[in-house]
Amino acid sequence: MHLAQLARRGFAAAVLCGAGFAFAADLPNVTILATGGTIAGTGATSTTTVGYTAAKIGVEKLIEAVPELKTIANVKGEQVFQIASENMTNDYWLTLAKRVNTLLRQSDVDGIVITHGTDTIEETAYFLNLVVKSDKPVVIVGAMRPATAISADGPINLFNAVGVAGSKDAKGRGVLVALNDEIQGAREVTKTSTMLANTFRAPELGNLGYVVRGQPMFYRASTRKHTTATEFDISRLDKLPEVDIVYGYANAKRLPVDAFVAAGDAGLVHAGTGNGSLANPVKEALKEARAKGVVIVRSSRTGSGITARNGEANDDELDFVAADNLNPQKARILLMLALTRTHDTGEIQRMFQTY
């Protein structure tokens, strides 16, 4: 019985089904860490695909709804937290990353799947891509339709994600995002549609591969350093530096920059028009912020392409950092982690060319 049927029947069947999973020595051991999102969402009817409530179903019921999991892995579940992912925070990230690293140090864990809301999957994925200290697969999965909907995509996405997380071929590729039969790299993946099942794309660069019959098929790999090859260590951190994003648009004002600086931000990312362009009032505010020690990164709101150093602004003269091809929300993550190690803009620029 699948999740949609279980959810529609008030999960009574989940108890009756009690799909226990017997251990199989020849299968990989995969731990599923649940955090919420639409994959755990419920709606009033089977046709409610918007206006449902995310983060309602617990990890055990997610697992019980896909009995086929036991044919590809020995699965255990943990509910790390239960949120709609627009409410993700730095603190949740530190909790999740520390749990992932603890589990991956265990010899009886071969891979991890994280169930997550799709709104900020790309951010959690990139954060973990920079701080997970293992080459074992970490696969983040979500759904675009709630568990109660006709053709809910959660169950098949979960089955595929477990298949990838249990595969030796997925080792050493960094954190992966698997939905809609595709495998995306954490660094380049982004949510491109508010509603469509194929919302996760890697603009201009494409996916890393596909999932077929629950097994990964890879065709390329990221060229940037990740996981065990990064210099970032969050094991002793209880807090991350405050970094926010200022959006660029016609008639943009300096007010948001001044507000974040007054709030004590350590860094700011500017989501500029075009190739990271700065409107004059904003540029002046960012120059003043820089003079106060705030580290500034220029990114672009366009969604793809490289924000080139010394292109639309003289970064050498301004002492700003160019984001390379990281979108603003990912540039924020790298800048936060960079600031745990240095405030030197030359060193930070090196990091943006490395990760």
Shortest separation between residue 13's beta carbon and ligand DGL, angstroms: 24
Exactly one of 119, 123, 315, 324 binds ligand DGL (CB under 6 A); that residue is 119
* Residue 151 is assigned to a ligand binding site: no
How far out from the chain centre does Cα 348 lie?
Answer: 22
Residue 155 makes contact with ligand DGL by CB under 6 A? no
- Catalytic one among 31, 38, 115, 124? 38
143 vs 211, which CB is nearer to ligand DGL? 143
Q: Is the dihedral of CA 302, 305, 306, 312 positive or negative?
A: negative
User: Is 118 a residue of the active site?
Assistant: yes
297: left (phi over 0), alpha (psi -120 to 50) or beta: beta
Which of 4, 31, 37, 248 is the binder for ligand DGL (CB under 6 A)?
37
Q: Which of residues 164-193 bind ligand DGL (CB under 6 A)?
A: none
Assess whether 38 carries a catalytic annotation: yes
At closest approach, how far in Å is the CB of 83 from ligand DGL? Answer: 7
Q: Which helix (H) or strand (E) holds 269?
A: strand 267-272
Query: How many residues interact with ligand DGL (rule CB under 6 A)?
Result: 12
**Distance, CA of 38 to CA of 55 (rounded, Å):** 6
* Interface stretch with ligand DGL, choices 13-21, 116-124, 166-174, 284-292 (CB under 6 A): 116-124
Helix pair 328-338, 345-354: axis angle to 10 deg? 130
User: Which of 118, 148, 207, 299 touches ligand DGL by CB under 6 A?
Assistant: 118
Residue nearest to ligand DGL as judged by C-beta position: 117
119 known member of a binding site: yes
- Of 37 and 267, nearer to ligand DGL (C-beta) is 37
- Which candidate, 172, 159, 162, places its Cα nearest to that of 111? 162
Q: What is the CA radius of gyration of the chain?
A: 21
Distances (CA, A) of 101 to 94, 109, 133: 11, 11, 6
DSSP 74: E
C-alpha to C-alpha distance for 8 and 218, rounded to whole angstroms: 36
Smallest separation, CB 38 to ligand DGL (Å): 3
Q: Which of 35, 49, 115, 118 is catalytic?
A: 118
Establish whether 181 is an annotated binding residue: no
Residue number with CB closer to ligand DGL (53 or 302): 53
CB of 191 to ligand DGL, least distance (A): 9
Distance CA 54, CA 47 (A): 15
How far is residue 139's CA from residue 163's CA, in Å, rounded to a whole number?
Answer: 10
Q: Which is nearer to ligand DGL, 29 or 85 (CB)?
A: 85
Please state the three-class secondary structure of 301-355 as a single string.
CCCCCCECCCCCCCHHHHCCEECECCCHHHHHHHHHHHCCCCCCHHHHHHHHHHC
Q: Closest separation between CB of residue 315 and ligand DGL, Å?
A: 34
* Strand bridging mode 176-179 / 182-185: antiparallel
CB of 40 to ligand DGL, least distance (A): 8
Applying the rule CB under 6 A, the residues between 124 and 153 that interact with ligand DGL are: 142-144
* 54-113 binders of ligand DGL (CB under 6 A): 54, 84-86
d(CA 35, CA 14): 20
CB of 75 to ligand DGL, least distance (A): 21
Q: How far is CA 141 from CA 25, 111, 124, 165, in A?
A: 25, 13, 11, 11
Q: Which is nearer to ligand DGL, 10 or 51 (CB)?
A: 51
Stretch that binds ligand DGL, among 11-19, 117-125, 209-217, 284-292 (CB under 6 A): 117-125
Task: By CB under 6 A, name the binding residues for ligand DGL.
Answer: 37-38, 54, 84-86, 117-119, 142-144
Positions annotated as catalytic residues are 38, 118
Annotated binding site: 85, 118-119
Annotated binding site for substrate: 85, 118-119
